[in-house]
């Protein structure tokens, strides 16, 4: 019966927080060697080793995850609000255009143009 402790350093790419973490395993050999997560302290007389794994970056960590989630929610809401305002403004412009065309087309013949093309994104 033998055990091994894996120690690894993590660094958060978002907030630069760094911490060490460890996982403890029992080494089980039944033809091939497997590591089985263990919760027991190695009994006296058993082999016990330590392995330091290469440092590992993580994109977001426990220290900054909630702040980042709140920030992303606010950003998404701001974008949705901007988009809704754009749609509202376009709708109002089309309504004004329709009113103008109705007034112009009532016999005076002053303005009877109809849009014959799809507006580009710059015209919106």
Which residues are CB-neighbours of 16 under 8 A, at least 6 positions away? none
Nearer to Zn ion, 8 or 17 (CB): 17
Q: Does 11 bind Zn ion (CB under 5 A)?
A: no
Which residues are CB-neighbours of 19 under 8 A, at least 6 positions away? 9, 10, 61
Q: Does 15 bind Zn ion (CB under 5 A)?
A: yes
Q: Does 64 bind Zn ion (CB under 5 A)?
A: yes
Q: Which span (22-30, 55-63, 96-104, 108-116) binds Zn ion, by CB under 5 A?
A: 55-63
Q: What is d(CA 23, CA 27) in angstroms, rounded to the nearest whole number?
A: 12
Ranges of beta strands (E only) in 13-75 are 18-30, 32-37, 47-52, 56-58
CB of 61 to Zn ion, least distance (A): 3
Q: Does 14 bind Zn ion (CB under 5 A)?
A: yes
Contacting residues toward Zn ion, per CB under 5 A:
12, 14-15, 17, 61, 63-64
């Amino acid at each position: 019966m033998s055990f091994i402790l894996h120690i690894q350093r993590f660094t958060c790419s978002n907030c630069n927080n760094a911490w060490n973490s460890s996982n403890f395993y029992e080494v089980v050999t039944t033809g091939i060697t497997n590591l089985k997560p263990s919760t027991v302290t190695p009994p006296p007389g058993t082999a016990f080793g330590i392995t330091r794994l290469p440092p590992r970056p993580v994109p977001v960590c426990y220290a900054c995850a909630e702040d980042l989630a709140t920030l992303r929610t606010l950003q998404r809401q701001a974008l949705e609000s901007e988009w809704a305002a754009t749609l509202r403004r376009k709708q109002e412009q089309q309504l004004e255009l329709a009113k103008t065309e109705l007034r112009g087309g009532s016999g005076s013949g002053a303005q009877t143009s109809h849009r014959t093309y799809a507006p580009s994104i710059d015209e919106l």
